[in-house]
A and B are shown apart, each in its own frame.
Chain A
Amino acid sequence: MNAVLSPMETLKRESHGLRGTIPASLDDAISGALREGDAQLLKFHGSYQQDDRDLREERRQQKLEPAYSFMIRTRLPGGVATPAQWLVLDALATHYGNGTLKLSTRQAFQIHGIIKQQLKSTIAAINQSLIDTIAACGDVNRNVMVSANPLVSAAHARIHADAAAISEHLLPHSRAYHQIWLDEKPLLDVDETETVYGPNYLPRKFKIGFALPPINDVDVFSQDLGFVAIVEDGELIGYNLLAGGGMGTTHNDPRTYPRLADVLGFVSAERVLAAAVAVVTAQRDLGDRSDRKLSRLKYTIDRIGFDAFRHEVETRLGVALAPARDIRFTDSGDRFGWVAGDDGRWHYTLRVESGRVADTPAQPALSGLRAIALQHRGDFRLTPNQNLMIANVAAADRAGIEALIEAHGLDAHQRGSALRRTALACVALPTCAQAMAEAERYLPTILDRIESLLTRHGLTEAPILLRISGCPNGCSRPFLGEIALVGKAPGRYNLHLGADFQGRRLNRLHRENIDQATILSVLDELLGRYASERETHEHFGDFLLRVGVVRVPTVIAAEVQA
């Protein structure tokens, strides 16, 4: 820990509260990019600088800089948005973005393709709709996830309120965002001291998720900090507190690994904010600030030890944590179609492949959801699986919504295999700077190929989790896929197999750096064996473990306890 601080630490400390020279960078007409340090600081304001990687070489030959643009990500706890907010985001994406809305795996909206000259006005317009983008990226608490579980309405509302309160409390205190994007005049009497984060913010990104059993749609064990709601007789009594999950790894760096969160104990509902602050500040003070590859909370816990970390949290919290309550998860998926909540309101979850809401001839989704937003009187919920719930529909309004769903082909969950309905893909190429291989754009192709294998083996209705990620950072939470493709190079992937269906067991690397033909031949054989040798209700990942295709995993606490 005495090692040299990473350059990012210096940049944060000397950024004047995340301001850097962003206004000057925005005004600099010589480039569509921001200056290097400003591009890093921009993340804390909810935007990534990207470029169209498909055009890089062509533009280089034209002596033009890369086609820079910006992705803007909302801070939207639990992914809950009003129809009016939907319409604003739709209009911004249509007029200034690439004409699509992306629903992220953390329940945020992403608008891609905003050019530098439009960045400020677009962020300002998002704020006018009462959604902000503060801290949607960067070394801070990211968008707080909440299970989209539609069945228990009152409990969901309560948990969503807790998540929103934590999201609010963990916002940076700097007024940089308001001054740069919203033209707020600097005020002398505003205290911008970062009382929670300190001048260097967190060592690395920090992810919080709230699960509502029996559905583990937020993949709560993948979060830096997880809360599992304990509901008794319809009433929330508290949360099991989990810490130290994380997906991101670096290829060929054995110091890095995906990790599931440990169960720290139980906290009562009134202590939820204090518990969050205890874990966040422990990571703030103990996390590695020299090597960003090792800065996530999961490595902090493994470095100092689980018991020492729990003690640290209890000391900061001022009370000992009670033993965790028993919880049971059945799955990590969404409930498609109409579902009634316990308050009699109706919710329709529709499938959005890769979370990309776009107008295509077969499925004019952007237009369809615009029509729905114009008439919907409830709200929308982005699910952790990149799907969309049209939530809180009165019984009398169901028919009208349903007609629009059908007219725009938005009932895609009724077509195709079970595997297709649950597949996740990150954005990857062409905009993501991290991507080593295709993900979202490859998903339709690989789904068609795998579906023909499923058809041959009679497995079209077998629910199997497929996840594709363009790199090992793991935005699509690939290490919790029963089948996962993790991008290694163009057209080549690491094939991971053997996670469970409930998000409690990591998969294992099965084959490294293989092409599509090899992927399909490996899967063909294993799916064939699964079809003939599986036990009743046995999931694919569990089967692979039982028959020894995937080696018995090393024991991870959460895998045993949860």
Chain B
Amino acid sequence: MIGPGTGVAPFRGFVQERSALGGSGRNWLFFGARHARSQFLYQLEWQAAVRDGQLQRLDLAFSRDQAEPIHVQQRLLERGREVYAWLQGGAHLYVCGGIPMGRSVHAALAALVAEHGGHSAESASDYLNQLQHSGRYARDVY
């Protein structure tokens, strides 16, 4: 689940639903905003979800909290090896948020697939297309 800013909204429901249904699989959220202090949306709920084991992984990118801006796509690349391993293991990928973010995240995904899957740029693109066709890569960008 990659949902910076208001893009995190559906994932709140995802986690709640999984928790209510007693789902036992792994899940991983990438969230970002400008400032942690004021824009960490649903911070208390995410803290509780991590604490209670409803959310296994949480990576955060607050772009304006340090001199050099950091966005979710950087976090994806930093975790590239593991993200690729999750995809290879059958993970479903969801992206929600602004259109430019969706584009940057797509590029980051292609880059990490190329790097960690030993793909060329073209075959990394095919890999992502294949994910989309099989319903494992869904985007809601606006």
Q: Are A30 and B65 in contact (CB under 8 A)?
A: no
- Could you say which residues of chain A place their CB within 8 Å of the CB of B94? none
A31 contacts the other chain (Cβ, under 8 Å)? yes
- Distance between A30 CB and nearest chain B CB, rounded to angstroms: 6
Interface residues of B (CB under 8 A from A): 36-38, 40-47, 50, 58, 60, 62, 65-66
Cα separation A65 to B41 with both chains bound (whole Å) = 10
A518 contacts the other chain (Cβ, under 8 Å)? no
A42 contacts the other chain (Cβ, under 8 Å)? no
- Distance between B67 CB and nearest chain A CB, rounded to angstroms: 11
Known contacts A65-B47, A117-B65; is A30 also within 8 Å of B42 by CB? no
Q: Are B37 and A29 in contact (CB under 8 A)?
A: no
Q: Are B60 and A115 in contact (CB under 8 A)?
A: no
Which of B43, B50, B60, B66 lies in contact with A63, CB distance below 8 A?
B43
Cα separation A29 to B65 with both chains bound (whole Å) = 11
Closest to B50 in A: A30
- Could you say which residues of chain B place their CB within 8 Å of the CB of A117? 65-66
A138 contacts the other chain (Cβ, under 8 Å)? no
A32 contacts the other chain (Cβ, under 8 Å)? yes
Interface residues of A (CB under 8 A from B): 29-32, 60, 63-65, 67, 115, 117
Known contacts A63-B43, A63-B44, A65-B44; is A30 also within 8 Å of B37 by CB? no
- Could you say which residues of chain B place their CB within 8 Å of the CB of A60? 44
- Distance between A493 CB and nearest chain B CB, rounded to angstroms: 33
Residue with the greatest number of chain B CB neighbours at <10 A, chosen from A30, A32, A115, A117: A30
Q: Are B43 and A65 in contact (CB under 8 A)?
A: yes
Cα separation A32 to B38 with both chains bound (whole Å) = 11
Q: Are B44 and A30 in contact (CB under 8 A)?
A: no
Q: Are A64 and B65 in contact (CB under 8 A)?
A: no
Cα separation A29 to B35 with both chains bound (whole Å) = 11
Q: Are A30 and B66 in contact (CB under 8 A)?
A: no
Closest to A65 in B: B43
- Distance between B75 CB and nearest chain A CB, rounded to angstroms: 10
Q: Are A29 and B45 in contact (CB under 8 A)?
A: no
**Can you list the 8 inter-chain pairs with the closest CB atoms, starting with the nearest?**
A29-B60, A63-B44, A63-B42, A64-B43, A65-B43, A30-B47, A65-B44, A63-B45
- Distance between B13 CB and nearest chain A CB, rounded to angstroms: 15
Q: Are A64 and B60 in contact (CB under 8 A)?
A: no
Known contacts A65-B47, A117-B65, A117-B66; is A32 also within 8 Å of B36 by CB? yes
Known contacts A117-B65, A117-B66; is A29 also within 8 Å of B43 by CB? no
Q: Are B47 and A31 in contact (CB under 8 A)?
A: yes
Closest to A115 in B: B37
Cα separation A63 to B39 with both chains bound (whole Å) = 10
